[in-house]
Structure 1
Amino acid sequence: MAREVVKVLVVDDEPMVCAHLRTILGSADDIDVVDAAHDGAAAVESVLRHRPDLVLMDLRMPGVDGLTAIDGIMELDRPPKVVVLTTFDADEYVLRALRGGAVGFLVKSTPPEDLIGLVRVAADGHMVLSPVAMRRIVAASAGEDAARERAERLIGKLTEREADVLTRLGEGLSNAQIAAQLFLSEATVKGHVSRMLVKLECANRTQAGLLAYDAGLVAR
């Protein structure tokens, strides 16, 4: 059965980067690059106009930057998934973007053959970053004490089973992999994740995964 077409908005202040991404993604039958924007303000306007499923968002742009744009997008009704585009994966702004609602990040040097698959994964609501990258970003962050206290407070709301699911989610496992490890059905795991996100006040799995790191459920 054919995959549903994923509508993508590309945001970068370099037109050549936008053109490059449009060419790569446009080669896939199930991905449609609906627009390209060159600053954060234009990105929010484009989301309202085109209602993409996924936004590839540069962070460092003149005028309205990517972080501000992500904040604006997340305030919209039914916001799209946002994946950060970055040159350096240890960029301090990446963590702020993930905490703000981005589902993951891609370095701009990502091989073209990997980019299409990663866009599909992100559009399906999964994290687009490795556990190794997550550890490096969290370890390099400032204000860890406050983040740990908040994470421990929120995780205290979870049942023991939900905490088990959260730990494995933080390790980068899919619902199917979590189900296999915990001897549960995939539907049961999906239900746990949905309830867990509400209790943790998280918009997506990536934010929940960050809480697992902050609380020490996942080794750094």
Structure 2
Amino acid sequence: MTTIGEEDEHIIATPSYGLFLLSDSKSTNFKKDLYEEANGKYLPSLTNKSRTNTKRILIVDDEPDITLCFKMTLEDNGFKEQVDAYNDPGIALSAFSPGSYALLLLDIGMPSINGLALYEKIRKIDSKIKVLFITAFDLDYEVLKRLYPQHEDVIPTILENSEGCFIKKPIDTDDLVRRVNKEVFNYFR
């Protein structure tokens, strides 16, 4: 069980059940949105809204509790209104536009489009995008080549463009914030 946010306004994510509980919130709509997400519907607060010219962070993970946890953690640590999160890689790809994001946080092991394939498609749209991959495994170049031979061409690019580009699950939220700040510091200065 993970708690994120202020003492009087927080979210509890229970990954084993995929449910979110919002306690003492000022927003009843937000409670309703979280409830609907727990029942398999889209979470409106995570959908693409009209944007400013600010560089943003895009999180894509097929587990709703992880995307919400990351989004709330980053927003609580200085990235207010700068984080978009999607559970469907196809929807994330269709919402992506060149220059709109400074950093991708991508789960590697998604069922419909794995994180490497999604990164490959996004790099065709924006070749300067940085990435942090979320994974449950210890990965290096040789392991990636063995697990994902179809993406052998993009793997060296991944390793060149982002220093230490893998975040291993379970993820410490302080480490997440530190790694994101390191990758996007020049964008948000």
Displacement of 1:100 after TM fit? 3.9
Answer whether contact 1:6 1:31 (CA < 8 A) is retained: no
**Greater share of residues in helix:** 1
- 1:108 equivalent in alignment to 2:165: no
Q: CA RMSD in A?
A: 2.8
**Greater share of residues in strand:** 2
Task: Count matched residues.
Answer: 121
Answer whether contact 1:11 1:57 (CA < 8 A) is retained: yes
Counterparts of residues 129-148 of structure 1 (less than 5 Å): none
Answer whether contact 1:22 1:33 (CA < 8 A) is retained: no
Answer whether contact 2:98 2:126 (CA < 8 A) is retained: no
Select which of 178, 181, 185 maps to 1:117: 178
What secondary structure, in the 3-state scheme, does the structure 1 residue paired with 2:110 have?
coil
Distance change >3 Å, CA 98–CA 122, structure 1 → 2: farther
Displacement of 1:38 after TM fit? 1.9
What secondary structure, in the 3-state scheme, does the structure 1 residue paired with 2:70 have?
helix
Aligned to 2:114: 65
C-alpha offsets along residues 164-186 of structure 1, whole Å, 9 cap, x if unaligned? xxxxxxxxxxxxxxxxxxxxxxx
Displacement of 1:78 after TM fit? 4.8
C-alpha offsets along residues 4-35 of structure 1, whole Å, 9 cap, x if unaligned? x7521110000011011111111112454432
Q: Distance in 1 between matches of 2:184 and 2:157?
A: 17
Distance change >3 Å, CA 32–CA 121, structure 1 → 2: farther
Q: Distance in 2 between matches of 1:73 and 1:105?
A: 18
C-alpha offsets along residues 176-211 of structure 1, whole Å, 9 cap, x if unaligned? xxxxxxxxxxxxxxxxxxxxxxxxxxxxxxxxxxxx
What secondary structure, in the 3-state scheme, does the structure 2 residue paired with 1:89 have?
coil
Aligned to 2:67: 18
What secondary structure, in the 3-state scheme, does the structure 1 residue paired with 2:106 have?
strand
Normalised by the size of structure 2, how large is the TM-score?
A: 0.54
Answer whether contact 2:56 2:84 (CA < 8 A) is retained: no
Answer whether contact 1:84 1:105 (CA < 8 A) is retained: yes
Amino acid at match of 1:64: I
Q: Distance in 1 between matches of 2:82 and 2:157?
A: 24
Aligned to 1:93: 144
C-alpha offsets along residues 40-76 of structure 1, whole Å, 9 cap, x if unaligned? 3223223228811111001111112211111111111
Q: Which has the larger radius of gyration?
A: 1
Amino acid at match of 1:25: L
Structure 2, gaps ≥5 residues long: 1-53
Q: Distance in 1 between matches of 2:98 and 2:84?
A: 10
Give me the identity figure in percent.
26
Structure 1, gaps ≥5 residues long: 126-220
